[in-house]
Amino acid sequence: EPEVTQTPSHQVTQMGQEVILRCVPISNHLYFYWYRQILGQKVEFLVSFYNNEISEKSEIFDDQFSVERPDGSNFTLKIRSTKLEDSAMYFCASGRQGGDGNQPQHFGDGTRLSIL
Amino acid sequence: LAKTTQPISMDSYEGQEVNITCSHNNIATNDYITWYQQFPSQGPRFIIQGYKTKVTNEVASLFIPADRKSSTLSLPRVSLSDTAVYYCLVGLSGSARQLTFGSGTQLTVLP
């Protein structure tokens, strides 16, 4: 069964540095998402991406964050000037979303981002 | 987006059937009910989705009464490896159908 893959599995970065989290969504999916989960808290939506542009973003997704689909397979999340509170698990997800909006999303196993 | 209420935690023993009920009183006509499972340090994993009555797959069953104001996820004969957080999600939000997760139900399967 095809799956969403994320790299790296764990990223340790000094505060103030930039990080890029990478994802390879499922190949025939059209919608791509980033979510994050701070330790012990809920999974929170960050941003959705469709047709090579951001569809929606949450309040968390401010100017510090950006997403890109640089080629036909990768989907990246860039975090500039990282802060201690950016420490979390970051999950990439993708969905097919045909004509029916109620299609399940498929998640990767996440990147654990630790800001020191 | 329909608000969901589910128990914070449940304990069970290996081999038992586990039923987790979710309340969603303000479910909309077009909303589907979806359950995800999350193991520690892993991403949520889709388990089952339904609209009405009963849906069954190789992992679980989903029971939805006629008024659709609640749903029950049934896991037959659980094992230790079923210990996880189970999320009930109703409807999708936004133009890109992003998911809104609640706190879920922590299921602990005991030997």
Q: How far apart are CA B12 and CA A43, in angstroms?
A: 25
Using CB atoms within 10 Å of the CB of residue A108, give its burial: 0 to 12 exposed, 13 to 18 middle, 19+ buried: buried
- Residue B51 is classified by DSSP as S
Confidence (pLDDT) at A98: 47
**Mean pLDDT throughout A21-45?**
93
For residues A81-97, average pLDDT: 93
The residue type at A102: N
Q: What is the mean pLDDT of residues A86-115?
A: 86
What pLDDT was estimated at residue B16?
Answer: 97
Residue A80 has pLDDT above 90, yes or no: yes
Asked whether the beta carbons of residue A102 and residue B96 sit closer than 8 angstroms, the reply is: no
B102 touches chain A (CB under 8 A): yes
Which residues of chain A have a CB within 8 Å of the CB of B48?
Answer: none
Partners of residue A112 in chain B, C-beta under 8 Å: 41
**A77-105: average pLDDT:** 85
Give yes or no for residue A94 having a pLDDT over 70. Answer: yes
Instruction: Please tell me the distance in Å from B111's CA to the nearest CA on chain A.
Output: 25
- Coil, strand, or helix at residue A77? strand
Phi-psi region of B79 (alpha: psi -120 to 50; beta: other; left: phi over 0): beta
Choose from A41, A43, A45, A49 for mutation: most chain B CBs within 10 A: A43
Give the model's pLDDT for residue A102: 64
Q: Which residues of B touch A97 (CB under 8 A)?
A: 96-97
Nearest to B96 among A56, A89, A109 (CB): A56
Report the pLDDT value the prediction gives residue B96, as an integer from 0 to 100: 63
pLDDT given for residue A97 in this prediction:
67
- The verdict on a CB contact (< 8 Å) between A44 and B101 is yes
Mutating which of B89, B98, B100 best tests the A interface, going by the most A Cβ atoms within 10 A? B98
> Please, what is the average pLDDT of chain A?
91
- pLDDT, tens digit, 9 for 90 and up, residues B11-64: 999 999 999 999 999 898 888 899 999 998 899 999 999 999 999 999 999 999
Confidence of residue B2 (pLDDT cuts 50, 70, 90): confident
Q: Do A33 and B95 make contact, defined as CB atoms within 8 angstroms?
A: no
Mean pLDDT, range A25-52, rounded to an integer:
92
| pLDDT per position as a tens digit, B69-103 | 999 999 999 999 999 999 999 877 666 677 888 89
- CA distance readout (Å), A30 to A2, A14, A35, B38, B96: 14, 34, 17, 24, 10
Peptide bond into B7 cis (omega under 30): no
Spell out the residues 6+ positions from residue B95 whose beta carbon is closer than 8 angstroms to its own.
A55, A56
- Cβ–Cβ gap A110/B97 under 8 Å: no
Rounded Cα–Cα distance for residues B107 and A79 (Å): 34
pLDDT of A51 = 87
Predicted pLDDT of residue A104: 84
Measure CB to CB from residue A105 to each of B38, B42, B99 and give the nearest one: B99
**How many beta-carbon pairs under 8 angstroms link A with B?**
67
How far is the C-alpha of A30 from the C-alpha of A14, rounded, in Å? 34
Does the beta-carbon distance from A42 to B102 stay under 8 Å?
A: yes
Q: What percent of chain A is predicted at pLDDT more than 90?
A: 76
